[in-house]
C-alpha cells in the first residue's frame, strides 16, 4: 500500500480513503494536499479523476497552466506531468485513482480515442447538478469498495466504473471539437506510439514502419488532422520530459541526455536550445531562480 500511495504523489492520505492493491484508490483530500502541490513537477503513473468540490487552485498539466475552481472535473492521464500551485485554504476534492493495468482490464470501448481527448483537455467545468451526481457515484463506489466481506467486491467496482464510463463520459465532459483532438484512427495510433516510445525514438520513419505506411503519408495525415507536424508531436513529448527532469530531478544533464537516448550531451543541448531558446543549463538555472 505504501508504494502505491507514494506513486500517487501523496505522503499520507486520510483514514477514510480506500486503497486496493496497486490498482485503485479512493481519496478525499480533506484539505490534505498531494505532493505535487509543492511547486514540484510530478509525473503521474496512474489515471486520476478529481472532482473539485470546494475552493480553487492553479495547476500545470504538461507545463500548461489551468485555473481550477469548484465545481470542476479534472481528468489526468498516466504519463502527464502535474505541478500544483496556489491551492486555496479551503481546497477540497474527491479522487478516483486507477492504474493503467486496471483500465486496460476494463476493456472499455473507444478508450484509446477518449484517452487522447482527455490527455489534451484535462479540465472540464460541470454544473451543480452534475457535481451532485458525481458525488453520489463516488459515495456508492466508496461503499462498494469498503465492503471487504463481499467476495465479488472487485467485480462490483469494475462494473460501477464501467457504468460511470458509459453514462458519464458524454454527460460530464464536453470534448473540444478542434484540431487538438485528432479524429483519424491512424493519427490517434501514432500519438499513442509517440507516448510509448518518444524516449527512445525521435525519427518519423520508426512510427511510420509501426503503422505500415510511408513517412510522407504519415506526416501528411498528422498535419491534416492535428494541425501539427509529426515531428512537432515527437519533439513536444521529448522537450516536456526534458523540462520536467531539469526542473524536478537531481540528474545531471549528461544523465538526462542518456535517459532520452541522445548520443551525447552536446547533441541534447543543441536539440533542447533549438526548441526552447535556452541551453539545458540555462533552463535549469532559470527555474531554480524562479522557485526561490
Give the CATH number of the domain where residue 108 resides: 2.60.120.280
| Pair 125, 38 in one domain | yes
Q: Could you give the number of structural domains in the chain?
A: 2
Residue ranges making up the domain that contains 43: 2-172
In this structure, the dihedral spanned by the alpha carbons of residues 138, 96, 65 and 117, taken in order and rounded to 10 degrees, is: -90
In a domain, 180, yes or no: no
| Pair 107, 135 in one domain | yes
| Pair 213, 126 in one domain | no
Least confident of 73-82, 252-261, 269-278: 73-82
d(CA 18, CA 96): 10
| Pair 61, 112 in one domain | yes
In a domain, 165, yes or no: yes
Boundary-marking domain end, from 127, 150, 172 = 172
Beta-carbon contacts of 288 under 8 Å, excluding residues fewer than 6 positions away, are none
pLDDT tens, residue by residue, 16-61: 788 888 889 898 876 555 544 545 667 788 888 989 999 888 888 8
As given in the structure block, the three cell numbers for residue 139 are 459515495
Grade residue 13 by pLDDT with cuts at 50, 70 and 90. low
Beta-carbon contacts of 49 under 8 Å, excluding residues fewer than 6 positions away, are 73, 74, 75, 76, 95, 96, 97, 98
In a domain, 166, yes or no: yes
In this structure, the dihedral spanned by the alpha carbons of residues 63, 200, 277 and 288, taken in order and rounded to 10 degrees, is: 50
Closest to 79 (Cα-Cα) out of 23, 168, 7? 7
In a domain, 232, yes or no: yes
pLDDT tens, residue by residue, 226-259: 788 999 989 988 998 898 888 777 899 999 999 9
| Pair 227, 168 in one domain | no
Query: Where does residue 232 rank: exposed (0-12), middle (13-18), buried (19+ CB within 10 A)?
Result: middle
In a domain, 43, yes or no: yes
Cα-atom radius of gyration of the chain, to the nearest Å?
A: 20
In a domain, 177, yes or no: no
Amino acid at each position: 500500500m505504501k508504494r502505491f500511495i507514494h506513486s500517487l504523489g501523496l505522503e499520507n492520505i486520510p483514514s477514510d480513503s480506500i486503497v486496493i492493491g496497486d490498482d485503485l484508490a479512493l481519496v478525499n483530500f480533506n484539505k490534505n494536499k498531494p505532493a505535487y502541490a509543492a511547486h514540484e513537477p510530478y509525473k503521474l503513473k496512474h489515471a486520476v479523476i478529481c472532482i473539485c468540490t470546494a475552493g480553487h487552485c492553479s495547476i500545470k498539466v504538461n507545463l500548461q497552466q489551468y485555473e481550477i475552481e469548484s465545481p470542476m472535473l479534472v481528468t489526468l492521464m498516466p504519463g502527464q506531468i502535474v505541478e500544483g500551485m496556489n491551492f486555496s485554504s479551503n481546497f477540497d476534492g474527491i479522487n478516483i485513482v486507477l492504474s493503467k493495468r486496471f483500465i486496460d482490464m476494463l476493456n472499455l470501448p473507444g478508450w484509446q480515442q477518449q484517452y487522447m481527448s482527455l490527455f489534451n483537455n484535462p479540465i472540464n467545468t460541470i454544473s451543480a447538478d452534475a457535481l451532485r451526481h458525481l458525488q453520489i457515484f463516488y459515495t456508492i463506489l466508496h461503499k462498494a469498495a469498503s465492503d471487504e466481506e463481499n467476495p465479488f467486491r472487485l467485480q462490483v467496482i469494475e462494473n460501477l466504473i464501467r457504468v460511470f464510463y458509459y453514462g458519464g463520459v458524454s454527460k460530464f465532459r464536453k470534448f473540444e471539437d478542434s484540431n487538438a483532438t485528432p479524429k483519424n484512427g491512424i493519427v490517434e495510433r501514432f500519438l499513442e506510439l509517440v507516448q510509448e516510445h518518444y524516449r527512445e525514438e525521435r525519427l518519423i520513419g520508426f512510427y511510420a514502419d509501426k503503422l505500415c505506411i510511408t513517412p510522407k503519408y504519415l506526416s501528411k495525415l498528422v498535419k491534416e488532422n492535428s494541425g501539427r507536424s509529426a515531428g512537432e508531436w515527437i519533439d513536444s513529448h521529448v522537450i516536456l520530459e526534458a523540462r520536467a527532469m531539469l526542473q524536478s530531478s537531481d540528474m545531471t544533464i549528461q544523465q538526462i541526455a542518456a535517459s532520452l537516448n541522445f548520443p551525447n550531451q552536446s547533441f541534447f543541448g543543441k536539440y533542447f536550445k533549438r526548441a526552447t531558446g535556452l541551453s539545458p543549463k540555462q533552463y535549469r538555472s532559470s527555474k531554480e531562480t524562479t522557485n526561490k
